[in-house]
Amino acid sequence: MADAALFEFLHTEMVAELGAHHSDPGPGVSAGVWGEKVGSGGGQKMSLSVLEGMGFRVGQALGERLPQETLAFREELDILKFLCRDLWVAVFQKQMDSLRTNHQGTYVLQDNSFPLLIRMASGLQYLEEAPKFLAFTCGLLRGTLCILGIKSLVTASVASLPTCKFQVVIQKT
Amino acid sequence: MSRQANRGTESKKMSSELFTLTYGALVTQLCKDYENDEDVNKQLDKMGYNIGVRLIEDFLARSNVGRCHDFRETADVIAKVAFKMYLGITPSVTNWSPAGDEFSLILENNPLVDFVELPDNHSSLIYSNLLCGVLRGALEMVQMAVEAKFVQDTLKGDGVTEIRMRFIRRIEDNLPAGEE
């Protein structure tokens, strides 16, 4: 069975490689979907959506492999708790640190020491880089939710490494 | 009670599949990004190399193996310690060249290719080529220049997966000028 460290190494290399490959300069400055400042073009946005898309497919695949009993959730909140506990432990060997909701379809999942940000200096030094390290995981959450029957929009924000927040907004069909 | 047990098993299963699934998503993406299989192979090798040069530190820290005295020891450590630690499998070491500078790693099953089938239009793709880069990068950090390549692949219909490892030369530490 593949060691957890392998995923981390692979993820870091994917961010570096896909980030470089998918950076094409476009006109203007915009605010990215991820709340970050996108510089001289849509380059970063493109690589973020590539990473997010990969995470989405992996999240779906992980979700598809869950046995039926695990999927017998009663409520939306149960599903979010599942993500915060079981999914997070499986992927990051720890649970999410906090889950908050407005009970109207928006959830904020906070991880105070997100493993994919841990290796970078804590604080504000790498704030601009952080979104690249969160995109895959946002997709992962969105993909697993999708298989569990929930359409969502997942974004992440970092105020100070290694703490980050994942915002899940349930999309009503 | 049983819900707790289920939770543990599910986490473990998901965890072991995570790397395999992520690797699959990566190869799929690279096939979209690059026009031909050769370029994807090169990219996988390069990425593997970058991973290998960092992975070696993790390996040395966690495995407590000492310095290998020769290529045979290196082969054993790769197969019995490294592959076991990271991929949970123990390939066998065979087909030594008479000069002792080449050997094969035989993988009965390759965890990377669980759930994978190669489509017809990707017959030149070396799906697991990341592994060759990892081996090359990791060994370079311990002063060995090697070549690693797949010579058999279950994805292509072979009975086993075989990686051929060739020792090229020892990399001497380069001292800055003026220091002896």
Mutate to test the interface with A, among B19, B42, B58, B114 (most CBs of A within 10 A): B19
- What six digits make up the tokens of B108? 């009965």
Q: Is B46 exposed, middle or buried (0-12, 13-18, 19+ CB in 10 A)?
A: middle
The CATH superfamily assigned to B16-170 is Trafficking protein particle complex subunit 3 (3.30.1380.20)
Output the pLDDT for position B5. 47
CB contact at 8 A, A18 and A100? no
Output the pLDDT for position B155. 92
Is residue A74 within 8 angstroms of chain B, CB to CB?
Answer: no
Mean pLDDT throughout A88-96?
92
Judged by CB atoms closer than 8 Å, whether chains meet at B26 and A14 is answered as yes
- What six digits make up the tokens of B162? 């075989």
* Model confidence pLDDT, tens digit, residues B114-162: 888 888 889 899 999 999 999 999 999 999 999 999 999 999 999 999 9
- If contacts are CB pairs under 8 Å, which of residues 123-162 in chain B contact chain A? 130
Alpha helices in chain B (DSSP H): 2-33, 37-63, 71-76, 83-87, 129-141
Is residue B87 within 8 angstroms of chain A, CB to CB?
Answer: yes
Distance CA B81, CA B91 (A): 10
Which residues neighbour B61 within 8 Å (Cβ) at sequence distance 6 or greater?
none
pTM of the model: 0.88
Q: Which of A12, A16, A90 has its CB closest to that of B15?
A: A90
* Model confidence pLDDT, tens digit, residues A101-154: 999 999 999 999 999 998 887 778 888 889 999 999 999 999 999 999 999 999
For A102, A150, A152, A156, the CA distances from A172, given in Å and listed in that order, are 15, 9, 8, 20
Domain residue extents for chain B: 16-170
More confident residue, A114 or B4: A114
**Under CATH, what is the fold of the domain A48-170?**
Muramoyl-pentapeptide Carboxypeptidase; domain 2 (3.30.1380)
Output the pLDDT for position B35. 85
Q: What is the average pLDDT score of chain B? A: 90
Residue B152, strand partner residues: B162
- How large a percentage of chain A has pLDDT more than 70? 83
* The pLDDT of residue B49 is above 60: yes
Domain residue extents for chain A: 48-170
Closest listed residue to residue A62, CA positions, set A85, A83, A76, A93: A83
Which residues neighbour B5 within 8 Å (Cβ) at sequence distance 6 or greater?
none
Q: Which of B10, B28, B43 has its CB closest to that of A66?
A: B10
pLDDT band at A24 (very low <50, low <70, confident <90, very high): low
Judged by CB atoms closer than 8 Å, whether chains meet at B10 and A90 is answered as yes
A-to-B residue pairs, Cβ atoms closer than 8 angstroms: 102
